[in-house]
Amino acid sequence: MTPPAPTPAARVEALRARGVRVLDPSQTFVDEDVDPARIHPTATLYPGTRLHGRRTFLGAGAAVGLEGPATLADSVLGEGASIASGYAKGTVLLRGAKLGGSGHCREGTILEEEASTAHAVGLKQTILLPFVTLGSLINFCDLLMAGGTSREDHSEVGSGFIHFNFTPWGRAGDKATPSLIGDVTSGVFLRQRRVFLGGMSGMVGPRSIGFGSMTGAGQVVRRDVGAQRLAIQVSRPVDEPLERPLDGRVQPVVDKNIEFIAQLKALEAFYLEARLGRARRAGRADLVTVYEEAIANVGACVAERTSRLKSFLREHGGPALPELGALPAPPCPLPLDAGPADAEHIQWVRDLGDADVERGRAWLQAIADGVSARLKGAVAAGEVARS
């Protein structure tokens, strides 16, 4: 006879027996699909914590619910990461990352080392590279942001900023609107100038903003911003028929989506070869788990962006895109065995020599260029076939 499943109270007690700090068991809920072995004994669950999902993982020193009730569903907190209060589903926070009070994170989101948000921030399909800092009352969907070198020199977004990831053009509108702030191929090496997006503002995707640039507060960014620029954009008056030809905006949208996908594939390679490779060499099972979950989120972002681009192309008479699958890529040239085996990722990156960084950039750029060439080639071939 099958024994009865543990009660919710018994599941909480099982965590306490492992050493997990549960401040008030009567106000803590652990669903039956949560694996107790994925909750580190030094994690802290404050009153109002609810844990759900087989993916849920709490690393050493992780904390949930310090400022109020918090729900985690299939979410991963690395060493020292925390969620003050709110909701996170399908979200990965790396070492020391912090989601502030009343946060709301959805699938595909990654906050890398020491990235952080203040209160009432909503994120979906958003990737923040190390140290990126968001103020309060921000809504980001379909965006990647990099830049900066440390907690004292980081890219930042002022409070009250919205990334508009939906446009009404076409039969049902589209979400082919990802925006790239900085990039992956240089940004992962933590040597680029920080970016600042002024608060009480918005940005209409798809957009790109270069490293070292600043956008003024109180505006809607509708045009790209190059590197090391101060941008204050003034909207022009518009009063014209709503139905108008869109041919002029189709190709730029396609190009930006392809570049975004290419950068995601470069990030995926960096995780697979550099992060995961080093974690396995060091025997860090906890980091292996966290990085594997982050890789899954990057893959989800690639799938989402590809799906949105396919829909956009179908509506505007474009060709079908090929499945990317596993693309041939040059081997990783980075010295994965350099330094102590247990050196944290950030320290390892900082210790890379200039020559190693340049080789790493070239490696990631070759991956991005390969993805871009394949997708652009398919689009161009489809255009020829229709002509």
What domains can be seen in the chain, in order of their start residue? 8-160+167-193 (2.160.10.10), 247-386 (no CATH)
Both tokens of residue 196? 């600042």
pLDDT at 384: 36
Task: Provide CB contacts within 8 A for 200, sequence distance 6+.
Answer: 158, 159, 160, 161, 217, 218
pLDDT tens digit sequence for 282-340: 999 999 999 999 999 999 999 999 999 998 888 877 767 777 666 677 899 999 987 77
Give me the pLDDT at residue 244, please: 61
Q: Give the residue from 219, 132, 202, 126 showing the smallest Cα distance to 161.
A: 202
Instruction: Give every CB contact of residue 113 below 8 A, 6+ residues apart in sequence.
Output: 94, 95, 96, 97, 130, 131, 344, 345, 346
- Kindly state the percentage of the chain with pLDDT values over 70: 94
Mean pLDDT of 127-145: 98
Q: Which residue has the tokens 């990631």?
A: 364
Type and span of the H or E element at 364: helix 354-386
Mean pLDDT taken over the chain: 92
Q: List the 116-117 sheet strands across, edge first.
A: 21-22, 44-45, 63-64, 82-83, 98-99, 116-117, 133-134, 156-157, 196-197, 214-215, 230-231
Least Cα distance to 317 among 212, 236, 245 occurs for: 245
Give residue-wise pLDDT tens across range 67-115. Answer: 999 999 999 999 999 999 999 999 999 999 999 999 999 999 999 999 9
Q: What is the pLDDT of residue 309?
A: 92
d(CA 8, CA 273): 40
Q: Does 248 have pLDDT greater than 90?
A: no
pTM to 2 decimal places: 0.95
Residue 116, beta-bridge partner list: 98, 133
Token pair, residue 79, equals 């060493």
Contact criterion met (CB below 8 Å) for 272 and 101 = no
Which pLDDT tens digit goes with each residue over 169-217? Answer: 777 788 999 999 999 999 999 999 999 999 999 999 999 999 999 999 9
Tokens 């570049």 belong to which residue?
259
Cβ–Cβ under 8 Å, residues 346 and 113: yes
For range 272-289, the mean pLDDT: 94
Q: Quick one: average pLDDT of 57-63? A: 98
d(CA 367, CA 166): 29
